[in-house]
Chain A
Amino acid sequence: MQALTNRVQVVERKPLSFWEKLYIPAIAKGMFITFSHIFKNKPTINYPEKTRPFSPVFRGLHVLNRDEEGRERCTACGLCAVACPAEAITMEAAERLPGEEGLYREEKYAAKYEINMLRCIFCGLCEEACPKDAIYLSETFAPANYTRKGFIYGKEELLIPDPKTQPEEFAKAKGLTK
């Protein structure tokens, strides 16, 4: 048959020579190769003890941010919910009452803020839409849960710890300390 391209390699199918028929040299060669693998570096990373460093643009679970004085930044404008392509964010706004100035930065705040982590596609559009720098995507990812309800994160799960009352937890959440 004529070759269609000039890249054809003709394979010779000779009968095995005596040396090859012995098999022992070939087996010894194979054994040597497997033995040499014992001393090779193992690419495995012992996961829970060691973690691979994330890329700086990694998009994990959301965090609701506070300002330097520990006040919630979110004003419940709803831009994140509008931007969300998966419609995972819902919120209810409330008006700040006198005396709550230390809790919320603006006059309006999110009384309820929920993200359904099963719907979320971690695209980061909410982060980009937010005019108040209130929502961020962190480097942790959603842990397993027994129920679907468990994946709907409320304010308790999302809010970053207060830098004034819980400075250690705050630093940990920010990734400043390990």
Chain B
Amino acid sequence: MLGNLMAVDWGFVFEKLILIAVVVTVSLVVAMYETWAERKVAAVIQDRRGPNRAGPFGLFQPLADGLKLFMKEEIIPNSSNKLLFVMGPGLAMLTAMMTSAVIPWGSKIVLFGRTIPLQIADINIGILYIFGVVSMGVYGIMIGGWASNNKFSLLAAIRGASQIISYELAMGLSIIALLMLTGSLSLKTIIEQQQDHIYYVFFQPLGFLIFLICAFAECNRTPFDLSEAENELNFGYHQEYSSMKLGFYLFAEYINMFVSSAVMATLFFGGYDIPFVNDVSFGLHHGQNLLALLQTVSLLAKIACFVFFFMWVRWTIPRFRYDQLMDLGWKKLIPLSLVNMVVTGFLVLLRQNHWHF
């Protein structure tokens, strides 16, 4: 028994724990400042100024918002299912955070003679893991809506669930075409294939577009925010929630946005690869740690672009009607991704045959 414990590489466990703590903290801080950025972007797009009272450029605004949410009264409705009611936001937060485990945030760093990969878990089915966890995200909405015991919340939850399930199909199909090119489900391998090559977005423009649209739907962002439609369903599934439980739901949405941006950057835009720079020779010349830092910055910059895009779309496009949503998902995106899959498969076969029929 003791021998078994001694055999465990404690340094490995320690470095993974630190990495998890750092990734979770960074996602939370990023989510915090996404709320600030959302309001700022909304403001500049609508010719306003946005939050500018708390601190320079209103940078302390998220802290003030968080404090406000913590101070609010925690209300659990009498008629609600108390266990599920508390579980809902927790589950939403958990699934949002779990996805970040397989995303590579940089190649590797060398500290105290140890080589530490900047990825919590390099599992060879990374994409499947992401899909699995993202599908669990629907439980957060569903449980929240059900436990509230309120017809509007329930309606919103059912809408959200059906939306997420139908867009997951198109998302999966669009990824299959990409997987034919990569031949691997590991995110790390996919990035390494894109390093110093053309990014996969140029091979799979249609696949990327479908994935992008589905990512919007999975994150419940406008134009797919039917599950929290303020003007028709009174704020949707989090209507009965208050205080930090509401905060968790709102936060989970922003973390989802961050992580799905990271996934899109990883799959289609080379992940942590620094554009126009040969990463390996840069690492040899300037040191591995500096390279890893720059790679993380590069990934974060790509994510920031995507997050801005998410917000930009939100303040441009109005919400879909429910039938339009289903129409787009089932009658447009799924056939399109099937066509994309078939064409890609055909071209991949043709390439293997050296472009002879």
Interface positions of A (Cβ within 8 A of B):
27, 30-31, 33-35, 37-38, 40-44, 46
Contacts and interface: CB of A to CB of B under 8 A. Distances in A.
B333 to A, nearest CB: 12
A19 B232 CA distance: 31
Nearest to A32: B316
A34 B312 CA distance: 8
A42 B43 CA distance: 10
A27 B47 CA distance: 20
A30 B316 contact: yes
Contacts of A31: 312-313, 316
User: Which of B48, B49, B315, B316 has the most CB atoms of chain A within a 10 A radius of its CB?
Assistant: B316
Contacts of B47: 37, 40-43
Nearest to B52: A46
Given A40-B47, A42-B47, A46-B49, A35 B312 contact: yes
B48 A30 contact: no
Given A35-B312, A44-B49, A27 B317 contact: yes
Nearest to A29: B316
Interface residues on B, range: 10 to 19
Nearest to B309: A31
Given A35-B312, A40-B47, 8 more contacts: A33-B316, A34-B312, A35-B45, A37-B47, A38-B45, A41-B47, A42-B47, A44-B49
16 contacts: A27-B316, A30-B316, A31-B313, A31-B316, A33-B316, A34-B45, A34-B312, A34-B315, A35-B312, A37-B47, A41-B47, A42-B47, A42-B49, A44-B48, A44-B49, A46-B49
B37 to A, nearest CB: 13
B6 interface: no
B46 interface: yes
A34 B44 CA distance: 9
A37 B312 CA distance: 11
A27 B320 CA distance: 13
A35 B315 CA distance: 10
A41 B46 CA distance: 11
Contacts of B48: 42, 44
Interface string B299-335: 0000000000000110111000000000000000000
A30 B317 contact: yes
Contacts of B52: 46
Contacts of A42: 44, 47-49
A40 B48 CA distance: 10
B313 A37 contact: no
Contacts of A40: 47
Contacts of A27: 316-317
Contacts of A41: 47
3 A-B pairs with least C-beta separation: A34-B316, A38-B44, A34-B45
A98 B46 CA distance: 67
Interface in B270-301: none
Given A27-B317, A31-B312, A31-B316, A37 B49 contact: no
A165 B15 CA distance: 72
Contacts of B46: 37
